[in-house]
Structures are given as C-alpha cells and as structure tokens.
A and B are shown apart, each in its own frame.
Chain A
Amino acid sequence: EAGVVQSPRYKIIEKKQPVAFWCNPISGHNTLYWYRQNLGQGPELLIRYENEEAVDDSQLPKDRFSAERLKGVDSTLKIQPAELGDSAVYLCASSLSDGEYYEQYFGPGTRLTVT
C-alpha cells in the first residue's frame, strides 16, 4: 500500500515569492492534516480537513497561507508571499477518521528554504 506522497521534497525560493506543496493521502483516508515543523521542534498543526471541509484552520496564518482539498483527496498548501520565517519542513498526514483518534500516517515532508 502506498504511503502519503508529498512533492516536492525540497524547495528553495527567495522571500516574497509564492510556493506550493502537494500531498496525496493514503487511499480511503478521509482526514488530511498539514503540519509545519521548525528546526529542532515537533510538528505543529496548520490545518485539518475532513473530506473537502477544513474543520480546524485556527493555526493557519491566513494572511499568507492558503490550502485546498478539492474532491476530498489531494491537497495543496500555498504560501504567498513567503517570508524568511517560513523556512521549515511541511508535513502532510492522513488518517481514516478524526472523530476518535485513528493513527495518522505521515509523508516524508517538503523542506522549504526561504532566502
């Protein structure tokens, strides 16, 4: 069974440029998460989707970050414009359901460097 797929694995951009990350969750997983992991820290939730609906986006910096999950499968996270402080690893995870905890399966992440 394929795991969570993310692309690109690495991205280097200059500040003020836009960037987008893509995630393909495990087939059949209706819950999808985006996390940000700063260097030397644990992951922090940015947004959680239940199917197409963003049910928890309270920690998403909405002035520059946006996300979508069309058709309740793949998801894209976008930053526009990027700032130096956005340098981090962006992780995508998926699970069967979030009503009661089900194991979250993580992708390998996208390492973003903003120069």
Chain B
Amino acid sequence: GNSVTQMEGPVTLSEEAFLTINCTYTATGYPSLFWYVQYPGEGLQLLLKATKADDKGSNKGFEATYRKETTSFHLEKGSVQVSDSAVYFCASYGNNRLAFGKGNQVVVIP
C-alpha cells in the first residue's frame, strides 16, 4: 500500500524565515500527493496538492513539487508568518485511501 514519511520533530523558526518540511512517499504507481494543515482548534484543511510527476502545488505562499525520481513532495515557504504556526501533514492517495504522515508542528516566533 501507499505510505508517506515526514521528517522528525517540530520546527521552530523566526518570522520571515524560509520553511522546508520534507516528505517522501512509497506507493505502487503514481499516487496523488497532498499537504494538509491543522491550525490550533480547527480541523484538517487541504493546503495544496499535485496529481502527477513534476506538478507543483501552491497555495498561500506554500509550494511543493511532485518529484518522481526522489519520491518526494517537500513543502516550502519563502517567508513564514506567525499565522503559519500549525501542524502540517503530508498525504498520498491510492486505492481509495488517504495515507497521512505523522505531521510536523511548525512554530513561528515573532
């Protein structure tokens, strides 16, 4: 089945810093890939997605590129804000199921 692996541990950074969260996937075939975000006290929200190799998903200044050669879908943002503090989940879709990574808590300090 499909699965995703996210980098370990929370991420703490200063406002306007560059953010990268690593995600790699394992799947049969080429799954659709997603990043979800969970703000404090709220439900999971779709942040961005990519459905095929070399696609770039983008939203709210975040970007991720579907890399088939490295089976990766790393999330990046050039200049984070305090309001970006949340938990970010990478996910892949295959066999009618979403498989989520463990999530990374991002804390942005003013």
Contacts and interface: CB of A to CB of B under 8 A. Distances in A.
A108 B100 contact: no
Given A43-B100, A45-B98, A108-B41, A101 B46 contact: no
Given A3-B43, A93-B44, A106-B44, 12 more contacts: A42-B102, A42-B103, A43-B44, A43-B89, A45-B97, A56-B96, A91-B43, A91-B44, A98-B96, A106-B45, A108-B42, A108-B43
B93 interface: yes
B23 to A, nearest CB: 11
Contacts of A3: 43
Interface of A: 3-4, 40-45, 48, 55-56, 91, 93, 98, 101, 103-109
A93 B99 CA distance: 14
A43 B102 CA distance: 8
A104 B98 contact: yes
